[in-house]
A and B are shown apart, each in its own frame.
Chain A
Amino acid sequence: MRNLRRRSLEVLVRKLLDNLGIRNIPIPVDRIARALGAQVRFWPLDEELSGLICIKDGVPIIGVNTLHHPHRQRFTIAHEVAHLYLHREHITSAVHVDKRFSESVLKRDAASATGTEWLEIEANRFAAALLMPEHILVELLTVSPIEIDEEGPLEELSKKFHVSKATLQFRIRNLLGELGTRKRA
């Protein structure tokens, strides 16, 4: 059930990338946001706030906290893109504020999530899939396999995607886990 959900997210991401003709990394997340009709605004915000999204005069506005690391800003944009792409009916003129997407939220068991938490979990998964598309990641790992705990190669790879090492590691673990489950099934 969870895997199915993850799988459909991967499919949706692939469709979005193909439609926009995006084949290379780093994935231009702000270009994707604009292709979906959104304005991206960069602004220094309180440390606790990652980003936000709302509709103003019919135009989706995505806000990003510039005080965060650029990698984190990219994840924030991807997360807001997910809300726009997957949860359009939930986005209104009321500003939807996203606070820190901590590892604990990322790792939390989806089964225990409430309705709104589920939206955030889904947005995080979509964001990870968008920043590190499965087909590109798998291809790179096939050409040059790495040990997931090897710092050097992992860092090298994370630089190519313009994401943090931890985010990449988490993504690879999830993909490996899922592929393993599918093979066994």
Chain B
Amino acid sequence: MRPEPVYRRIGAIIRSQRRRLEWPQHALAARLGMSRATLANIETGRQRVLVHQIYAFAEVLQLKPTDLLPPDSDGQPAADLTKLAIQGDVNPEQREQIARLIGSQSVSLKSKKKIDAKSAKKIPGSSRQKTAR
């Protein structure tokens, strides 16, 4: 797997999860003891994330460390990936993403609760304020 796409993809997962939790960059950066600029660079893949940081990100973002790691696209496709029937045109990378989503468990369960709590409160700003501390 080439280095640049890996870090970009890890960064994209971090960013999307951060946004879903409605955390501003500075809040997540503060929780992880890094500068906002460092986080911004990690999210875009310009800065390479360290192994201990993967664990820290996972904990704070309510994910498993492995959720942050893209599958090895240079390797052989997983067996269930080739079996997966998809209606419509998708390219191999999209197929891999879809297979991952269908095969996933952990993220979905957590995200459901989170979104629920958010919509129950109905005050968009409030959760952001709390998590910013």
Contact = CB atoms under 8 A, between A and B. Distances in A.
A112 to B, nearest CB: 20
B64 interface: no
A45 interface: yes
Majority SS at the chain B contact face: helix
A94 B87 contact: yes
Interface stretch (A6-14, A36-44, A136-144, A168-176): A36-44
A74 to B, nearest CB: 10
Interface in B68-87: 84-87
A66 B98 contact: no
A45 B97 contact: yes
Interface stretch (A49-57, A125-133, A145-153, A177-185): A49-57
Interface residues of A, number: 30
Interface in B1-53: 12-13, 15-17, 19-20
Contacts of A44: 12-13, 16, 97
A135 interface: no
What's the interface size class on B, roughly? 20 to 34
A34 interface: yes
B120 to A, nearest CB: 8
B94 A95 contact: no
B17 A48 contact: no
B112 interface: yes
A58 to B, nearest CB: 14
Contacts, number: 85
A117 interface: no
B133 interface: no
B98 A52 contact: yes
Interface in B106-125: 107-108, 111-112, 115-116, 119, 122
A54 B88 CA distance: 13
A26 B93 contact: no
B70 to A, nearest CB: 10
B133 to A, nearest CB: 22
Contact of A66 (B16, B86, B116): B16
Nearest to A44: B16
Nearest to B93: A46
A153 B16 CA distance: 30
A110 interface: no
B123 to A, nearest CB: 11
A99 interface: yes
Contacts of A54: 102
A95 B86 contact: yes
B107 A41 contact: yes
Q: Which 3 A-B pairs have the closest CB atoms?
A: A94-B85, A41-B108, A66-B16
Interface of B: 12-13, 15-17, 19-20, 84-88, 90-91, 93-94, 97-98, 100-102, 104, 107-108, 111-112, 115-116, 119, 122
Interface of A: 24, 26, 28, 30-31, 34, 39-46, 48-49, 52, 54, 56, 61, 63, 66-67, 70, 93-97, 99
